[in-house]
Amino acid sequence: MVARRGGTVVFCEVKSKGGSAFGDPLEMVTREKVRRVRRAAEAWLAVHPECSDLVVRFDVLVDRGGRIEQMRGAF
């Protein structure tokens, strides 16, 4: 997900799992996932040069049993 708020563009990875028996959703944000999200952000920014002066931030939203937690600047 990509969102803009003021002078910041946020690339946000959203994760959830079917239950605690399957581990924490945050565990799914691996080095490979971070690499892919960063590459996608670079491609998106290349197509949207009007956003080149904005601050870029990477967040992770985690759904833990219906409770949403936001990790700002996760990577």
H, E, C per residue of the chain: CEEEECCEEEEEEEEECCCHHHCCHHHHCCHHHHHHHHHHHHHHHHHCHHHCCCEEEEEEEEEECCEEEEECCCC
Domains of the chain: 2-71 (3.40.1350.10)
Is residue 5 predicted with pLDDT exceeding 80?
yes
- Token pair listed for 66: 């219906």
Give the pLDDT confidence of 21-68 residue by residue, as tens digits.
Answer: 778 888 889 999 999 999 999 999 999 999 999 999 999 999 988 899
pLDDT of 33: 95
pLDDT at 20: 67
Cα–Cα dist 19/17, whole Å:
6
